[in-house]
Amino acid sequence: MSNLLMPRSALLASGAALMASAGKARAAETPIRIGVLADESSYSADSSGSGVFLAARMAAADFGPTLLGLPIEVLHADTQNKPDVAGAIARQMYDAGVDVIVDLPATPIAAAVQQIAAEKTKSVMVSAAASEEFVTKWCKPISTLWSDDTHALAAGAATPTVRAGGKTWFFITVDFVFGTSLERETTAIVEAAGGKILGSVRYQQNKSDFSSELLQAQASGAQVVGLCSVGGDLVNVIKQAGEFGLGHGGTQSLVGFLVDVTDIHALGLPTAQNLTFSSSFYWDQNDAARAFTKRFMAEHHAPPSREQALAYVASLHFLTSMAKAGSRDALAVNRAMRSLPFDYFGRPASVREDGRVLHDVTRYRAKTPAQSKGEWDLFEAAGVLPADEAFLPNNPACKV
C-alpha cells in the first residue's frame, strides 16, 4: 500500500500530471485510491485532521495490499473549512483516479463534494458532516451517510432528557445548516414528548464571547439549555456557561449534541462534568474499541474521535464492498455496500438503501473528576438508543 501525503498545494500542483496519467491508463490500471478530505487547520482539526488520514490508512492496511489486482493508495488534503476549496480539490482527486472521498466536516463542504461525486459518478462517504438532509433531501446512489446525523444526535440526547423531567428548553445555536437542523429536530422531539421550547438565540460561527447568549438562556428559566454548536464554539460556550451558573448540577442543565472526546478533554472534567450527549463511538466502549485505540495511539497523540473511527469503518467497508462487486464502478460498489452488514467496533451495522448507515447510539455523561481513572477516561454510558429510534425512516425515493 502506498500512502500519498497530499496537502492542497501539492495536490493542485500534481493534479494535471495525475489526470494525464489517469486519462491514458484509466481505471483498469490506476491504483485503488481513497481520498480523505478533512479539517486539518480549523475548528475541528482535533477530531478530524491527521487522525482521519491515519484511520483510513489503517483500514487499507487491514484490508490488504491489493484489491482487484491493484495497489491501494490513501491521499489526503485540507478543506480549509471552505466549500469552494474542498470542491476544487475533490474534482481534481476524482479526475486523478480517486475512487471514493471520505470524511468531509461541515455540511456545505460535504454538499459541494457530493454534487461533484454525482456529476462524475464517483463514490462519497460523509462520515463527519451531520445533516440528515444527505438522505432526506440530497440522497444520491453514490453517496452514504456515516456520521451520527442531526436526528440521531437530537434523539439520543433529548429523548431521555425529557423523559427524566427536562421539559422546558432554550437553544444556543450556530447559524448554519448543522445548527438550525439540529435545533429543528430537537424541537420536534421535545414537543412530541410533551416538552416546551422557551426560546433560542443564534450566533455566527467562530465566536469567542457568549455572554449575551448565556444571559438570554439564563433569563429564559428553561430547565435545559441545548447547545447546537460544534468544535471550538462548543468548547467556548461550555467554558463560559459555568460563569453564569449553568450546568454542574444547577437548576439549568446543559445538553450537548455533537460532542467528542477531544472536546471534553479540552474542557477538562471540572468544567465538563455531567454534560450529557450521545455518540455511536467512544474509545473505551468495549474490547474492540480499546484494541483499535491501542493501535491508533501508537501513531497519534489522542484516542480516536467518533469521526476518526467512522473513517476507519467506512474505508474498510468500501474496500470490502469493492471486492464483492468485483469492480470499481461506483454504482456497483454502492450496491454491494448496501447489501453487506458489517461490524462497527463490536456493534452490528448496515447501510440502508437510501445510504443511511444504521447502528445503535449511546447516551453518555461526562464523568466527574473523582470518577475518572486517567487522562482519557472521560465518558460514562447512560443508556442506548436503538437504531430504529435513532434514525429517520428510510427514504424510498433514494436507492441505487
Span 34-79, pLDDT tens digits: 999 999 988 788 889 999 999 999 999 999 999 999 999 999 999 9
Largest Cα–Cα distance of the chain, in whole Å? 67
Three-state secondary-structure class, residue 277: strand
- Is residue 290 within 8 Å of 377, Cβ to Cβ? no
Pseudo-torsion of CA 7, 321, 347, 126, nearest 10°? 40
224 DSSP β-pair partners: 169, 253
DSSP code of residue 68: T
Q: Give domain 151-279+360-390's CATH number out of 1.10.3720.10, 3.90.79.10, 3.40.50.360, 3.40.50.2300.
A: 3.40.50.2300
Instruction: Tell me how crowded residue 396 is: count the other CB atoms within 10 A of its CB.
Output: 8
pLDDT tens digits, one per residue of 158-217: 988 999 899 999 999 999 888 999 999 999 999 999 999 999 999 998 899 999 999 999
DSSP labels for 106-148? SHHHHHHHHHHHHHHT-EEEESS---THHHHTS--TTEEE-S-
- Nearest CA to 216 out of 201, 235, 234 is that of 201
User: What's residue 123's pLDDT?
Assistant: 98
C-alpha cell at 240: 463560559
Which residues share a beta bridge with 72? 32
Residue pair 189/132 in contact by the 8 Å Cβ criterion = no
What are 16's three cell numbers?
Answer: 494535471
- 2-148+286-358 against 151-279+360-390: fold identical: yes
Percent of the chain's residues with pLDDT above 90: 82
| Axis crossing angle, helix 177-192 with helix 107-120, rounded to the nearest 10 | 110
Pairing state between β 70-78 and 32-38: parallel
C-alpha cell at 114: 457530493
Question: Model's pTM, two decimal places?
Answer: 0.90
Given a contact cutoff of 8 angstroms between Cβ atoms, the answer to whether 278 and 360 are in contact is: no
**Quick one: which of 374, 188, 381 has its CA closest to 281?**
381
User: What's the CA gap between 135 and 339, in Å, rounded?
Assistant: 17
Residue type, 103: D
The cell numbers describing 167, all together, are 421539559
What are the two backbone dihedrals, phi and then psi, of residue 16, each rounded to the nearest 5 degrees? -65, -40
Contact assessment for residue 227 and residue 256, using Cβ atoms and an 8 Å cutoff? yes
Q: pLDDT tens digits, the chain, 400 residues: what are they?
A: 444 444 444 444 444 444 444 444 454 589 999 999 999 988 788 889 999 999 999 999 999 999 999 999 999 999 998 999 999 999 999 999 999 999 999 899 999 999 999 999 999 999 999 999 999 999 999 999 999 999 999 999 998 899 989 999 999 999 988 899 999 999 999 999 999 999 999 999 889 999 999 999 999 999 999 999 988 899 999 999 988 888 876 789 999 999 999 999 999 999 999 998 999 999 999 999 999 999 999 999 999 999 999 999 999 999 999 999 999 999 999 999 999 999 999 999 999 999 999 999 999 999 999 999 999 999 999 999 999 999 999 998 887 7
In CATH, what class is 2-148+286-358?
Answer: alpha beta
Cell of 381: 454510558
The full set of domain ranges for the chain reads: 2-148+286-358, 151-279+360-390
Beta strands in the chain (DSSP E): 2-4, 32-38, 66-67, 70-78, 100-103, 123-126, 143-145, 168-174, 196-203, 224-228, 253-256, 276-279, 342-343, 348-351, 357-358, 361-366, 379-385
